[in-house]
A and B are shown apart, each in its own frame.
Chain A
């Protein structure tokens, strides 16, 4: 009771007498010291009251600042990023070679707003095409060209997200990819899928967290038929803390591309087996794939040798399409090391992967568009170096060397130097 009275008086004195401010720590300590000297409080009680009062003031200042903002500001977050890229490409066929250099920009701007405690709406705009071409889903670049022409801004995502409780999320619309993948064997990271998904995630104990993602993704809408191509997805996985420094994340994904056989999909790279007709390269295979993937991350792996390396990760992913008549497998193996996140000056991370995607392993509208033009039937190495230039800004160097599995002469080197700024 005595402690409670002192704490209330202390808060009252600070709030009423001097106004709430962060520099009151010294005054609290002085008052408490006097109370200890006079025997009103013990040193432990003074420490407890002093610390709790300072924390309470911090919380009240934060709450006060927050509540003084207009309601729509309290419920809305604005975020985005800008990227300036220099890209050099060298492609070679059996008889020809092409060199190309491009300067490109990317702008992404997103807004997330809470409609209520459980419902959120997200809207994002980005540079990039929206014409159904191969680049439309898989690229957000705008090339600097055409005599200072204005650049196209498209709807990158728009979704509603409902969270009935802490372990379930329902999302509908066009949204950021909810499926986990350690690399980009199957999904280009620029793709924002469309449709509806449910995400479940629950901690099973202090070291194990399970997750499940399931959904129906719309690949296209056919105006002349009700057999629209869809991608049905179920992904089940687990994150395990094997020790304080070693963690494992693994998942098994099942993809069923319904009604794609006999269709030509928008955004195709044209490399899946098709009938090659003038009317439009309709797919000859079905695509139902099973994809196991795993990533092991170790913190401070070289500590025993006295070498400072914050993180080392190795990962692998495999895909198999039993519906393909042939060439239905793919895999990626890779590693990364350096900082877990490149967030300040001097942070760095290097990553490497090798990928092989046979011709009919996955739909050729999905894989990384920078890896041999987003085609299937390819093998490629990729190395990425990220270097932090400061808070929210980094330099990235990304290099691909890939080739067509049918002909080693058909190779592609792509080097990208990016300056990224987040805001």
Chain B
């Protein structure tokens, strides 16, 4: 009887070891902006689906789309729409890429609450962060030096701001580079002449958000596309999502998934 029990134990042990080999697996790769959403969603999704293995990698939007085209990933994360050259490559490789919008990225421009300036044009924001405008007086504010506060270059918010506002130009060299959205908001809240930018989810009462091109930053204006510093975030798939890929994307689009999106500082679609 004891030997029978041992056999059962050994069998269960072997089965436990073998389970990961039979786990359903998908690979998600691409945009560093989308990465925190994908990582968080994968973590929660795998916890509630033990037989599933979701491998999430960064690399950038171009890498994600290229990997999807060459078949080395199942979901290509991207913070921009697919380029024509990528589309041509996909078509010539018999791939029919499907865009799945999973969230919106909205970036608020913030200043110290005491600052009299409450609206700027996108061009003025660009000029400030490029270094062409360095005093608030030029913008109708006090005679005070502008202190630019930016996210560090490894962040997705920095990348989004560079694309949507700076048109690829460099941030001024004297900008204070911060490691997180909270650090940007905190620095701006403590520095009267400061201007910074944070994801919409990180807007707090300790800073003042300025209108851009006459539009107030809000979930509604980002979703409607009226706010000029916003963009959709994508998970591209090869054709309409199926199987585990569909389950994962459906999860991100669910109420629970969109809550995770907002916890990461992005704008949910719900």
Contact = CB atoms under 8 A, between A and B. Distances in A.
Interface of A: 29, 33, 36, 42-48, 50-52, 54-56, 58-59, 62-63, 66, 74, 117, 166, 203, 205-206, 244-245, 300, 303, 305-306, 308
B12 to A, nearest CB: 31
Contacts of B9: none
Contacts of B72: 166, 203
10 contacts: A42-B223, A46-B223, A47-B225, A48-B232, A51-B81, A52-B98, A56-B99, A59-B97, A62-B84, A74-B92
A58 B224 CA distance: 21
Given A166-B71, A206-B29, A55 B270 contact: no
B68 to A, nearest CB: 12
Does more than half of chain A's interface fall in helix, strand or loop, or is it mixed?
A: helix
A63 B91 contact: yes
B144 interface: no
Interface of B: 29, 57-59, 70-72, 81-82, 84, 87-88, 90-92, 94, 96-101, 104, 153-154, 170, 173-174, 220, 223-225, 232, 234, 268-270
Given A51-B232, A117-B94, 16 more contacts: A46-B223, A47-B224, A51-B101, A52-B101, A55-B81, A56-B99, A58-B84, A59-B82, A59-B97, A62-B87, A62-B91, A206-B29, A206-B57, A206-B59, A244-B153, A244-B154
Given A47-B232, A51-B101, A29 B225 contact: yes
Contacts of B94: 117
Contacts of B91: 59, 62-63, 66
B269 to A, nearest CB: 3
A340 to B, nearest CB: 13
B99 A42 contact: no
B224 A43 contact: yes
A59 B96 contact: yes
Contacts of B88: 62, 66
Contacts of A305: 173
A409 to B, nearest CB: 50
A46 B98 CA distance: 17
B237 to A, nearest CB: 11
Contacts of B71: 166
Contact of B170 (A29, A203, A308): A308
Of A56, A58, A74, most buried by chain B (CB within 10 Å of CB) is A58
The 6 closest A-B pairs by CB, nearest first: A306-B173, A44-B269, A55-B99, A206-B57, A43-B223, A48-B101
Given A56-B99, A59-B96, A303-B153, A47 B87 contact: no
Contact of A47 (B97, B99, B170, B223): B223
A261 B174 CA distance: 64
A63 B87 CA distance: 9
Contacts of A48: 101, 232, 269
Of B101, B104, B268, most buried by chain A (CB within 10 Å of CB) is B101
A232 B98 CA distance: 45
B41 to A, nearest CB: 16
B269 A45 contact: yes
A403 to B, nearest CB: 43
Given A63-B91, A206-B58, A51 B173 contact: no
Nearest to A245: B153
A136 to B, nearest CB: 35
Contacts of B268: 44
B92 A42 contact: no
Given A58-B87, A66-B92, A166-B72, A51 B99 contact: yes
Given A206-B57, A206-B59, A308-B170, A166 B100 contact: no
A303 B173 CA distance: 8
A55 B83 CA distance: 10
B99 A63 contact: no
Nearest to A202: B72
Contacts of B99: 51-52, 55-56, 59
Given A47-B225, A63-B91, A306-B173, A42 B270 contact: yes
Contacts of A244: 153-154
A50 B90 CA distance: 22
Contacts of A300: 153
Given A42-B270, A44-B223, A52 B100 contact: yes
A67 to B, nearest CB: 8
A210 to B, nearest CB: 14
A141 to B, nearest CB: 32
A47 B92 contact: no
Nearest to A206: B57
A1 to B, nearest CB: 13
B131 to A, nearest CB: 9
A52 B98 CA distance: 8
Contacts of B100: 52
Of A44, A47, A51, A166, most buried by chain B (CB within 10 Å of CB) is A44
A92 B9 CA distance: 84
B76 to A, nearest CB: 13
Contacts of A43: 220, 223-224
A59 B225 contact: no
A139 B25 CA distance: 50
Of A47, A66, A117, most buried by chain B (CB within 10 Å of CB) is A47
A58 B82 contact: yes
Contacts of B101: 47-48, 51-52
A52 B249 CA distance: 14
A59 B224 CA distance: 23
A244 B154 CA distance: 7
A47 B99 CA distance: 13
A50 B104 CA distance: 13
A145 B232 CA distance: 60
A166 B238 CA distance: 16
